[in-house]
Amino acid sequence: MAATEILNRADIVKAPQVRLAPQPEKPSLIGLLRDDIAKLLAEKGVPERQVKMRVSQLWHWLYVRGVSDFDEMSNVSKDMREMLKEHFTIARPEIVEEQVSGDGTRKWLLRFPPRGAGRPVEIETVYIPEEGRGTLCISSQVGCTLTCSFCHTGTQKLVRNLTAEEILSQLLLARDRLGDFPERDTPQGAIVPAEGRKITNIVMMGMGEPLYNFENVKTALLIASDGDGLSLSKRRITLSTSGIVPEIYRTGEEIGVMLAISLHAVRDDLRDMLVPINKKYPLKQLMEACRAYPGLSNARRITFEYVMLKDVNDSLEDAKELVKLLKGIPAKINLIPFNPWPGTNYQCSDWEQIEKFADFINQAGYASPIRTPRGRDILAACGQLKSESERMRKVDRLAFEAMMIANHGED
């Protein structure tokens, strides 16, 4: 299909050029834990006896109602709102571009301030609607330090970590754009239905390695799963890692969300090449960390991502070794047909071979769904959008991203 035909099928929205006034002196209240907000309010003169109540009000407006303007906080006094506007911000990131696929997939290119990077930075957030659920893919870094040989994002050098505010803002903005917050005039304390939400699951599978930005990711996910705010179940939050073993233990102990492992190979020599972090944390250590992950059961499994590369990792011998490697770990294996990108030396496995691979794993007792492409028509993919010509060549890469995102966490 010609690129022009593909573009005609997509709804690509250039965001209005309303830029946020730079206010580096104003810290954001988004992404702060309650104790941190309380400390800031006390420093600005809020009486000690009021601090807890004010924190509760702010938390409600930020994470239940989803407001991004202090003036919308109707049960906060005018003087208090003026103080908040003077000293803090709760503004959303700038939307550079919004793209909507014919199948409902949405992609936002967001811009954040430099914060030490020397220039404003841009990241991507992707929403995948599925039957009975909607999954949001969130980025944790600008670029990536890992150099996985099959991954295009890995060719982009790390610019900086995202803050907890910037990680959480991706969820808040997506809910804004999808109309996924309740009516803002609903009184505080009213029961807000949990059903019918467009974003039911989130996955830390966007740009970057989440466990190399552990503290900011931890804070953002603890706020996202807080029962008095955004209230996402930890079983509906999946963190994907290439295998940073020490932080896998910390993730289980300190965050407690679902885990996904970018595996892609069953032998150290091959994984050293495909996922170079394996040289530091080889398969034996990685599998030990997975087996020790808290709360594993048939209902709470680790997802192992496995990209199918022709004549590289797709033989039946690889399938046998995969079953042996995962023995004793409640697991689901996502088989991902590889989508080539400019400059790659890899090819996708033949479909017949993928099916044979999947059949063998299924017969061994593991679920092994084969991901199907989504959102091809919006020319989107992991990593920053670059020139128009490169974007035209990226058309097949959203398939890889969407297949990675889909069907993670509890239904």
Residues comprising the binding site?
Answer: 144, 148, 151, 208-209, 240, 262-264, 339
Structure token digits, residue 231: 């209230």
- What is the distance between the alpha carbons of residues 85 and 195, in angstroms, rounded to a whole number? 33
Q: Of these residues, 137, 290, 348, 382, which one is catalytic? A: 382
H or E element that contains 223: helix 214-224
Q: Distance between alpha carbon 242 and the CA centroid of its chain, in Å?
A: 14
In the chain, helix, strand, coil percent, each to 5?
40, 20, 45
Catalytic residue selected from 98, 124, 247, 305:
124
d(CA 171, CA 174): 5
Q: Are 204 and 210 in contact (CB under 8 A)?
A: yes
CA distances from 220 to 30, 59, 168, 215, 292 (A): 9, 14, 5, 9, 24
- Other residues' Cβ atoms within 10 Å of the Cβ of residue 365: 8
43: annotated active-site residue: no
137 is an active site residue: no
Q: Which residues are annotated as a binding site for S-adenosyl-L-methionine?
A: 208-209, 240, 262-264, 339
Give the other-Cβ count within 10 Å of 165's Cβ: 22
For the chain, the first-to-last Cα distance in angstroms comes to 34
Asked if 161 and 145 count as a contact pair (C-beta separation under 8 A), the reply is: no
H/E stretch holding 35: helix 34-43
10 Å Cβ neighbour count for 91? Answer: 15
Feature table: binding site for [4Fe-4S] cluster? 144, 148, 151
Gap between the Cα atoms of 388 and 410, Å rounded: 37
Q: How far apart are CA 112 and CA 235, in angstroms?
A: 29
Cβ pair 157, 115 in contact under 8 A: no
Helical axes 316-325 vs 351-363, angle rounded to 10°: 30
Question: In this structure, what DSSP letter does residue 275 have?
Answer: S
What residues act catalytically? 124, 382
